[in-house]
Amino acid sequence: MASKSKKVISYLRARPWIELLSAIASFFYLYYYLTTISQFPDILNETVAFQTASVLVTAEGVLIALAPMMKNHLWAKAASVLVGVPAILISVITVATASFQSVQLLYISSAHIGNLFKWDAGLFGLLVEVYIIGILDIPTIVSKRAKPESSPNT
C-alpha cells in the first residue's frame, strides 16, 4: 500500500501544477454540471429546450471539429465518434422534437422533451470531460510514469 502512495506522490511532484489543477477543476465541473442537470424539472418548456439544445449542438460541433488536433488519437476518436456523434444526434432530435411540438402541435411543455434535454445536457458534459482527458493527455502521462526506467547498463 505504501508503494502506491509513493508512486502517487512522485507522480504529483513530477507534474506541473497546471495539469493537476485542471484535472481537479474538471472533476468539480462534472459534479456541478450533473447536480445542475438533475435539478431540472421533468416537464420543460419547449422554447427553452429548443434554444438551449441549439447552443449545445453548436458547441458539440466545434468540439468534434477540434478533436483531431489532440495528440492522443485514441481519445480524439473517443471524443468525436463515441461521445460526440451521439451527443449531436440527441441534440438534433431534441431541437426537432421541441420545434415540432411547439409550432405544429402547440404544446407548451412535455415530459418527453424534458427527458431528451437531460440526455442532451448529460452527453454534452460527458463530451467535455472526454475532451479534457484527451487535451491533458492523462492516459499517456500515467502510462509513461508507470513504466520502470531502464538503466543504461542493461
**CA-based nearest residue to 78, from 139, 131, 138, 22:** 131
**For residue 109, what are the β-bridge partners?**
45
Reply yes or no on whether the pLDDT at 61 is more than 90.
yes
Alpha-carbon distance 104 to 66, whole Å? Answer: 36
First to last CA, the chain: 29
Residue 88 has pLDDT above 90, yes or no: yes
Look at residue 49 and give its three-state secondary structure.
helix
Here the cell at position 27 is 472533476
Instruction: For residue 124, name the pLDDT band (cuts at 50, 70, 90).
Output: very high
pLDDT exceeds 90 at position 92:
yes
Least confident range of 40-44, 133-137, 143-147, 148-152: 148-152
Enumerate the domain spans of the chain: 17-140
Confidence of residue 65 (pLDDT cuts 50, 70, 90): very high
pTM: 0.72
Question: d(Cα 40, Cα 38) in Å, to the nearest integer?
Answer: 6
The yes-or-no verdict on residue 51 having pLDDT over 70 is yes
